[in-house]
Structure 1
Amino acid sequence: MVTGRNAIKPIFRSGPSISARVAALVLASVLLILADWRFGALAPARVAFADAAVPFYWVTTLPGRLFGWVQEVFVSRDTLIEENRVLRAEALVLRASTQRLAALAAENVRLRELLNSTALLDERVLVAEIIGVSPDMSSQTVVIDKGTAHGLAQGQAVIDAYGLFGQIIEVSRFSSRVLLVTDSMHALPAQVVRNGVRVMVEGEGRIDVLDVNHVASTMDVRPGDLLVSSGLGQRFPGGYPVGVVESVTNDPGKPFAVVVARPSAQLDRSRHVLVVTEGEASADAASSGVAPSGTAQEAVDAGMPGATPRADASAPTAPGQDGLP
């Protein structure tokens, strides 16, 4: 046994302590966060990971898809007949409404021409399916199955069959992340359909609540009022339903009322959404009453069940919007 001065010395010295390693990792993490926040250094890595995660999203939704397919296969004949009857009745009503909207759209274009207003936009839409929901309760986002390969870009508005859904905040090649209108970091300018009063609608972090801010106590805003996007923020198209006012509370000691609204879109139930892409000026199409190719109606025909968005972006806007009486 070798002891004392002749003891064998270790070949490798011991590495840094655990504390030093943890401190180094924390410092590296902080530097990466700052680099990404300041310069977007990790954006390519995020896009690559998002593309790689798309198959996992599809796998996680496979049981639901399979269950829906089984339901469709074994649905009864009587159910199909009843659904067909209801859909035919709805289609008849919608055709009548479309005929009236075509005349109103032409009149709206003539009024804009008299006022030397800007040309209308033919909004094009793309059907997308929700394939993922953020597990983070503090961030209300969903993932859709369309990305840059389909012409999507950051900042585009997203709607469902009932109203404004949110906007795209991150895009990869085959998927995109959508920030819901109820997220606490989301805000958009809106207006009351009844009288054209302009307000600011902000998310509160709850799926069924919207805060309506900048409403003076003297403003005419009532429960039941429909709020639509005003288009003033140059981010969302004007005229899409945002929410319905549920309560208005006036405090005599405060200059602004506390107004709460419920979102129009079915944020926690919709499976398919429409992404509103760039449009081109087309007053002639509106005056002719013919919907342009690629509009919401075409997208609905392409396979979005139950969707009833505006058939044409040239339809009349809410009173008071864009300076119209």
Structure 2
Amino acid sequence: MSSANPTYRLLIALVLAVALMALDQRSRWGDPIRYAFGYLAAPMHYLAHLPVDTARWVGSQTHSRQELVESSQRLQRQVLILEQKVQRLAVLEAENVRLRELLNSSANLDASVLVAEIIGIDPDPNRQELVINKGGRDDVKQGQAVLDSQGLIGQVVEVGPLSARVLLITDASHAMSVQVNRNGVRAILAGTGQGNRLRLLYVPDTADVRKGDLLVSTGLGQLYPRGYPVAQVVSVSHQSGAAFAEIQARPNAHLDRVSHVLLVQSMEPVSLPDARLPEGGSTETSPAPGHTTSDNVEVPDAAQ
């Protein structure tokens, strides 16, 4: 009889586990418990990221003097180029403000952003998710848009006290409204589960969408701020007799190389130039406005 007790205990534990999983799947009763366990999970994320940080520190300490001199000279050249671009952006912003005043339209050109570091990646090949080192204590909200210097990355789907999970735009379950920056044609951009491929859904075969077109967020549904770059069209296929065109796109954001991201804390629109690529060519995309290099600071969309 005593030898059967462990078996009964195991069966009871399995039944309870299955019941709890089913209840958690169909209701949100476990959210407070999951939030509390975030305090225990956060140190694990930091410990998992510790070898990478240690390797970076060791690498930075072993740079030769010549490498540091060359890096300093390269950065000085880049600073000069960026300062020239900032001057041009200041002129464009002033012209934009004057035009808005002529139209009797008030505009808030500032976008509040929060800088976060990626500390984990979902190992499940069927999920395209990241873990960042900002959470509820930093005023991170579920549904908040996340981007890097090149474009939108995804959206916060789960918030813990010290960390949050971000669903990437390439996830197979993700879809968002976009429009062609060249002519304003709207469509639905869906993930494919692959890190460098997206597709446009239900675009009529006669729609004016070309290879190289820049796709930007529309802001419809208030899921993402309007006017941020999302992807570039890489192929447009027309099949005889088909009602819809087969259109593939590539994310603007460097999803496989980014280490720091921006969390947009305002839904103000931004203005973008026509960044459509020439047929068969390529070009670098402009950094998304409103980014900064310090945490939780207000940075204008265009240089002041």
**Matching residue within 161, 166, 172 for 2:154:** 166
Output the amino acid matched with 1:54. Answer: A
Q: C-alpha separation between the residues in 1 aligned to 2:97 and 2:175?
A: 30
Q: Is 2:11 aligned against 1:21?
A: yes
CA distance in 1, matches of 2:99, 2:244: 35
3-state SS in 1 of match to 2:265: strand
> Please, which of 180, 184, 187 is the counterpart of residue 196 of structure 1?
184
Match of 1:50 in 2: 38
The residue correspondences of 1:177-256 to structure 2 (distance < 5 A) are 177-256=165-244
Q: Which amino acid aligns with 2:11?
A: R
CA contact (8 A) 2:110 2:290 kept: no
Pick closer, same or farther for the CA change 1:313–1:31 going to 2, 3 Å.
Answer: farther
For residues 48 and 59 of structure 1, the distance between their equivalents in structure 2, rounded to whole angstroms, comes to 19
Equivalent position SS for 1:99:
helix
Question: 2 CA distance for matches of 1:185 and 1:260?
Answer: 17
Q: What are the Cα deviations for residues 137-165 of structure 1, in whole angstroms up to 9, with x where unaligned?
A: 11111110110111111111111122111
CA contact (8 A) 1:122 1:279 kept: no
Note the residue ranges of structure 2 that are not aligned, 5 or more in a row.
270-288
Q: Is the 8 A contact 1:124 1:279 kept in 2?
A: no
Q: Secondary structure at the match of 1:54?
A: helix
Q: Following the alignment from structure 2 to structure 1, what is the Cα–Cα distance between the partners of residues 141 and 268? A: 17
1:130 maps onto 2:118 in alignment: yes
* 1:62 counterpart residue number: 50
The 1:227/1:56 distance shift into structure 2, 3 A limit, reads: same
In structure 2, relative to structure 1, the CA distance for the partners of 1:106 and 1:35 (3 Å cut) is farther
Equivalent-residue separation in structure 2 for 1:210 and 1:194 (angstroms): 19
Structure 1: 5+ residue stretches without partners:
1-9, 282-294, 304-310, 316-325
In structure 2, the partner of 1:306 is: none
1:21 corresponds to which letter in structure 2? Answer: L
Identify which range, 197-206 or 106-115, moves more after superposition. 106-115
- Which of 240, 253, 265 is the aligned partner of 1:265? 253
Distance 1:227 1:13, change over 3 A: closer
- Give the aligned residue type for 2:135: G
The aligned residue for residue 72 of structure 2 is 84
Answer whether contact 2:226 2:267 (CA < 8 A) is retained. no
CA distance in 2, matches of 1:38, 1:115: 51
Distance 1:138 1:117 in 2: 46
Contact 1:120/1:313 (8 A) holds in 2:
no
- The normalised TM-score by structure 1 is 0.77
- Give the 3 Å change call, closer, same or farther, for CA 247–275 of structure 1 in structure 2: same
Q: Select the structure of larger CA radius of gyration.
A: 1
CA distance in 1, matches of 2:5, 2:99: 79
How many pairs were matched up? 281
1:227 deviates by 1.5
Pair 220,85 (structure 1): closer, same or farther in 2 beyond 3 Å = farther
Q: Deviations over 1:293-312 (max 9, x none)?
A: xx945x32x38xxxxxxx63
Q: 1:108 aligns with which of 52, 73, 96?
A: 96
Compute the RMSD of aligned alpha carbons. 2.9
| Structure 2 partner of 1:3 | none
Residue 101 of structure 1 and its aligned partner are, at CA, apart by 2.0
- 8 A Cα contact 2:177 2:188, kept in partner: yes
CA contact 2:128–2:168 (8 Å) conserved in 1: yes
- Say if 1:208 and 1:263, in contact at 8 Å, map to a contact too: yes
Equivalent residue letter for 2:247: V
Spell out, residue by residue over 1:42-86, the C-alpha distance to the aligned partner (whole angstroms, 9 max, x if none): 111222223211111111222211111111111122222222222
> Residue 178 of structure 1: CA displacement?
0.5
Conserved 8 A contact 1:200-1:212? yes
Identity over aligned pairs, percent = 46
**Which residue is equivalent to 1:318?**
none
Q: Secondary structure at the match of 2:222?
A: coil
